[in-house]
Structure formats: structure tokens, C-alpha cells
Amino acid sequence: MALLTLQGISKRYQQGELEVNALSDINLTVEEGEFAALVGPSGSGKTTLLNIIGGLDSPTQGTTRLNGTDITTLKEAQLSDFRLFQLGFVFQSYNLVPVLSALENVELVMVLQGKHKNECRQRAEHYLELVGLKDIMHRRPSALSGGQQQRVAVARALAAGPRLVLADEPTANLDSENATALLDIMHTLSHEEKTTFIFSTHDPRVMDRAERIITLQDGKIVSDERHHHEHKT
Amino acid sequence: MKKSAQASVLSRLPILIFVAWRNIWRNPIRSVLTISALASGLVMVILYASLLEGMTRQMVRFATEISTSHIQLHRQAFIDDQDLYATLPWSYMQKLEQEFPDITIAPRLYASGLASSTNTSTGVLIKAVDPKREIEVTKMLEHVRHGKLDLGIADITENGFARYNLVIGAQLAKNMNVEPGDELVLVTQAADGSIGNALYRVAAILKPLEPNFDRMGVLMSIEAYQQLMYLENGFHELAIKVNDLSQLENIQADIIEKLNKLTAVEPLDKLGGVPVVRNWRQLNPAVADLLELSKAFVFIIGFIIISLASLGMLNTMLMAVHERTHEFGILLAIGMKRRWLLLMVLFESFFLSLVSAAVGSVVGLIINNYFEEHGIDFSQSMPDGYDWAGMIFEPVMKGYLIPMDVVYACLMMMVVTMLASLIPSWQTIRLKPAEVMR
Ligand SMILES: Nc1ncnc2c1ncn2[C@@H]1O[C@H](COP(=O)(O)OP(=O)(O)OP(=O)(O)O)[C@@H](O)[C@H]1O
Ligand SMILES: [Mg+2]
């Protein structure tokens, strides 16, 4: 069974008289362990789609099944639990709580999950080491570069042990060097942790690192290609 | 199911509290300003309560110490129409004194008469006291303005009569144009129906304390009274001072019970009526009402001050929530529950008001300490004190803080600020992460 199945997803926004079809009849399956990019011009519906997959927004029509659960039927509190335990998020910027250190930010999700203190600490340190930030894990976000902050966000998403990590333009505010470095980290972790990633991007160099590229245009999937390139460690 | 959900909120409390505490110091200047506003409000409330309580205590002292004392005993007919014959026997006084070692008592007798000096005469109110006992119960005899306090025998006249000393009110002295050392003749109707009349010497003049006594009061010893009035079988009034004011009502009840027993053994004549025991509140209902009113006043003024200070808190929290919309969106997205977020914001307000309460109480207590020791001194501009609601106050206004008042003020502040912070907290409930993240 596929990890994620979207069936007939449509999203219409009402803007006064005008109706905007942000998404129309999207059908998509994503298997466990995939590393997929969502691309397309601005306004094509990438953010809308990621929000619907993440249960942050509800579709006008259609169903979203994750790991067998139809999340469109879940209530607010259940959705919140679902996100807490099954999903990881990395947003474009300002992902972190500014009053907490990098380490505390990574621990936060696990603490909210109710994990034991020691386990939170161990896992947080482990993942910060994987993203190469163990030395500066006691710094607050304001003392980290944009790239470092995004890496902390990736560590936070993964440390909580999600089935699926959603990242909406995680590299948009990074220069290309930092952007490719972040992608490499995400890619490596995706393999090592067998975690599924779906991320949106505009950046061709970032797209290159994806194993699957789903292209959206005007709210429809216009192409869906798999690249089987070697993963370098 | 329900139980585990509650348990989960409890287990998340430490992290919510931790983040909330950190958030307060995110914008230290803003937090310090908010805390200063709330703490100042609290300081004002504490000082206001303290000064008003200080005035209240002074008022109670005035109402009791000057002449009323804490409890008084009369007979009904004396209360109703100053019936000269409505006396209580002296044996009652001795029995009460034996029964209650914790009280101090002073007997008094009254009569009305006419006083004449060399060129004027005027109606007067004669009050007879036992100076030794009176000094133990009230401060009436301490407030001498001119002359020397002495109610004994001044001299013996040529025809062998004793001339007693008198102490009179200041206004009366002025009206009659007499000074200490001058003579005064009193004429009155004695208890046997005859006209009593005698010559006295004015020994001292009392400061104005009670308006009535000031205008027409003449103070003499009980022996002088008995010689003038031929009324020896008892007293009109018993002033009672209790050592422990908190026991006032109990002691009053015990005295009433004791009197019931006494009247059974030693019956009183019918005409004078039953013995009546009243405490100072019942004797000065206006003052008692005023005291109640002042308590309500502290509450209302305190509530207004604190509500105004809470507006600062409301503003701070509105700003804090507003500028963190994005952050809250992220937290909701990664699985924070709305009620946890709400709790976090409430904890933030709670800490602000808790710190304010601590700072405000400490500063309030320090300033209050000064007020209790030194007071606010108006004696430069008002050496005789001031007059408020028919009472005379000392020129130095001193504070008196009831510790529980600080606790109540803190509680009130925290309740009001927490209510105010419900408004900004409520905004977190309505956040839609999808819109916030876009
Ligand atoms: N709340 C909204 N109300 C009305 N229209 C909306 C709303 N949110 C999104 N849209 C519209 O839906 C369409 C898809 O928007 P979306 O943000 O998903 O695009 P995107 O692919 O993420 O664009 P970008 O690359 O610029 O981030 C756009 O036409 C947008 O104007
Ligand atoms: Mg977008």
C-alpha cells in the first residue's frame, strides 16, 4: 500500500465574485521512502497542495489518505495529533522558536509527543550531529545563519520520527551553495532514516537532487517523472 | 479517554511554562515597563489601603479613647430621657469588676444645670467622674489646654463648705469668659427635689474634642456630684475598656449574661428600666458605618487602579500575540494543540502578573514601613489636626497595613490581569496555520 494517496483533490478559493481553482482533480500516490520535488510556476498550487497533505488546510473535494487514514475526515484535535506523530514540517524561513536554543527547538516536538526527557535529549543531539550542528546546538536561532536554521528545522522534523516530511520551499531564502548543501543533508537522511520527503522548489539545482519531480501548472499535475540517479554519501 | 487527555496536558505543562517564561524576557524593556505599571498600581493600592486603615484605626481610637470607651452600660430610662433616677447600684460595679479581671471600668454620673460666672450664666451639662478610674479607661482627662487637672477640693469657704475644682470645655470657658482659677456657681435640681447650688473653682480647661462637651461640659468628681445632687445610691453610666479588642463581642455578651444574673439576685426598681450594654459601634453608628464604607472604598479604588494598570498588560499581550502569529502558526503545524498554545499565552500573562505582584508587594511594604513609622506630617499647615466627617484627626497621617490586604490586593491584581489577558489569548484559538504560513 502506498504511503500517501490523493484522490480527486480540488481546492477552490472564493474571492468575492471570483472563484480561484487553486487545485483541480489532483491524483497522486507517493511510496514509502520517496524523495519527491513539487515544482511549478508561482501560483500553480504547490503550497496549497502541501498544506492539504499536511492537514493544515482542507480540500474542497477529494480524499487524502496517509498510511491508510483518510485525514480529511479527522477532527481538529485528531489532526493535531496526527501532525505531531506522523508528519514533519520545514517551512521557508523562521521555522524555529526564537527563545529556545537549537537543541531545545529540536527537543520541543518530542517533548510535545510525550517522550521521556532523556530520549528527547539523546535523539536531538543525534540529529543535530547528523546535520552538522552539534557544536553550536546551544545557540539561539538569532545566532545561526539562515542555512543553519534550516538544518535545525530538518533535524527537528526528523528527530520526531515522522512518516512523511513536508517542506515548502525550504531553500528559498538560501544562496545556492547552502541550498544544495541542505538538499544533500535531506537526501542523505531520507535514505538513512527511510523517511519520505515531499518538498516544493523553484530552484533547478535543488530539483536536480530529487528522485521524482511532480510538476504543477494551474492547479493540475502536468508531469510526473522519476530520476534514478545514484545517491552519493 | 478523557482522563488520558488531561494527563497529557499535565505532562506538557513544564515545557509550556518553560517557553512562556522565556518569552517574557524576549522583549525585556516591554516586560519591565508592563511589570512597572502593574507593580506601581499595586503599590498605590497597598499604600492607599494602609493609609485608610491608619485613619480608620485613629478614628476608632478617637471614638473609643476620648470618652466613649469600648463598652458602655446604662439603664434604658437614662438612654431614653436622661432620667436622673435611672441609676445602677454601686454593688453592680463591684460585682462586674470581680467577675471580669480583663476589663477596666469607670463610673459616671450626669445632670444638667445652670452655671454663672461674674457676668453671665448659661445652661451646662454636668459630668461626674472618678479621676483615678477614668484615667485608666479613657484619655478624656489628658487633653488639658490650660490649667492643671484637679477635681479635688480647692479650699474651704468661711462657712465651712468644701469648694471643689471643676474642669470645663474650651468653648464654654470662652463664652463665660472664665479662666483657670476663676469661680463658678452651679445651680441645679437635686435628686430630692431641692435646689442644689454650690460655688466651684475652675481648675482646668479641656481641649475641644467632643463638640457637645466643648460647648457646655462641666466635669467634677463623683464626691462633688453627690454633695450637689444628693444622689448617692448608684451611677448612670459605666465606661468599660477591654484589653483585647478582638474579644469585644464576646465580652459584651458575657457582661449581658452576668447582668441578667445580677438583676435576678438584686432586682432593680421598675421605673429605671433594664440595664443596656452597648459596644462602641452601637454607640457611634455613624462612625461604624463610615468604617464599613471605607472598606468598600478601598476595594473600589483598588479595582479602578488595577484595572487601569491592566490595560498596559492587555496591550503588551496583544502585541506579543500579534507579532508571533507566524511562530504560533509553525507551532500549530508541528502538532502543538490550540489549548496548549492558549495555556502558554496565559502562563506568560500569569508570570508577568506574578512578578508584578512580587515587586509591587515588596516596594509597597518598604514604602509602607516608612508611612507606619513616620507618617505624612501635616503639622506645619494644620497644627491642631484636621476635621473629617465630624471627627478630629491628628496632623500626622500614619499608615497601618493589614498583611492580608496585601494578599487580597495581589489576588485582585492577578485575577484582573488574567481576565484581561483572555482577550489576546483568545486570538490564538482563531489562528489558521495554513493562512499564517502562506
Ligand atoms: N487564501 C486564499 N484565497 C484566495 N486565493 C488563494 C488563497 N491561497 C492561495 N490562493 C490562490 O491559489 C493559487 C495557488 O496558490 P499557492 O500559494 O498554492 O501557489 P504556489 O505554487 O505555492 O506559489 P508560489 O510558488 O508563489 O509559492 C494561487 O492562484 C493563489 O492566488
Ligand atoms: Mg508557495
Rounded distance from Cα B428 to ligand 1 centre (Å): 24
**pLDDT tens across A26-61, in order?**
999 999 999 999 999 999 999 999 999 999 999 999
Decide if B155 contacts B201 (C-beta within 8 A): yes
C-alpha–C-alpha distance, residues B316 and B314, integer Å: 5
pLDDT at B374: 85
Q: What is the pLDDT of residues A128-147, one digit of tens each?
A: 999 999 999 999 999 999 99
A212-231: pLDDT as tens digits: 999 999 999 999 998 765 55
- Contact by Cβ (8 Å): B196, B49: no
What pairs with residue B155 in β-bridges?
A: B163
How far is the alpha carbon of A156 from chain B, nearest alpha carbon, in Å?
10
Domains in chain A, number: 1
Check which CATH number belongs to the domain holding A158 and give it.
3.40.50.300
The pLDDT, as a whole number, for residue B59 is 78
User: In this predicted structure, what is the pLDDT of residue A59?
Assistant: 94
Q: Encode pLDDT of B255-305 as tens digits.
A: 999 999 999 998 988 888 999 999 988 988 887 888 888 888 889 999 999
Per-residue pLDDT tens digits for B168-190: 999 999 999 999 999 999 999 99
Flag whether pLDDT at B198 surpasses 80: yes
Contact B404/A at CB under 8 A: no
Domain that holds residue A122: 34-59+76-226
SS3 string, chain A, reads: CCCEEEEEEEEEEEECCEEEEEEEEEEEEECCCCEEEEECCCCCCHHHHHHHHCCCCCCCEEEEEECCEEHHHCCHHHHHHHHHHHEEEECCCCCCCCCCCHHHHHHHHHHHHCCCHHHHHHHHHHHHHHCCCHHHCCCCHHHCCHHHHHHHHHHHHHHCCCCEEEEECCCCCCCHHHHHHHHHHHHHHHHHHCCEEEEECCCHHHHHCCCEEEEEECCEEEEEEECCCCCCC
CB-based contact A89 B330, cutoff 8 Å: yes
pLDDT in tens, A50-104: 999 999 999 999 999 998 889 999 998 899 999 999 999 999 988 899 999 999 9
The model carries a pTM of 0.77
| Cα–Cα–Cα angle for A14, A202, A180, rounded to 5 degrees | 145
Which residues in chain A are contacts of B8 at CB distance < 8 A? 114
Q: What contacts B112, CB < 8 A, 6 or more positions away?
A: B82, B123, B124, B125, B126, B188
Residues with Cβ within 8 Å of A67's Cβ and at least 6 positions away in sequence, in order, are A3, A4, A86, A163
**In this predicted structure, what is the pLDDT of residue B388?**
59
The Cα of A26 is separated from the nearest Cα of chain B by a number of Å equal to 19
Position A183 in a domain: yes
A222 interfacial to chain B (CB closer than 8 Å): no
User: Does residue A231 sit within a domain?
Assistant: no
Residue B46 to residue B306: CA distance in whole angstroms? 11
The model's pLDDT over B115-135, given as tens digits with 9 standing for 90+, comes to 999 889 999 999 999 999 999
Residues listed for chain B: 438
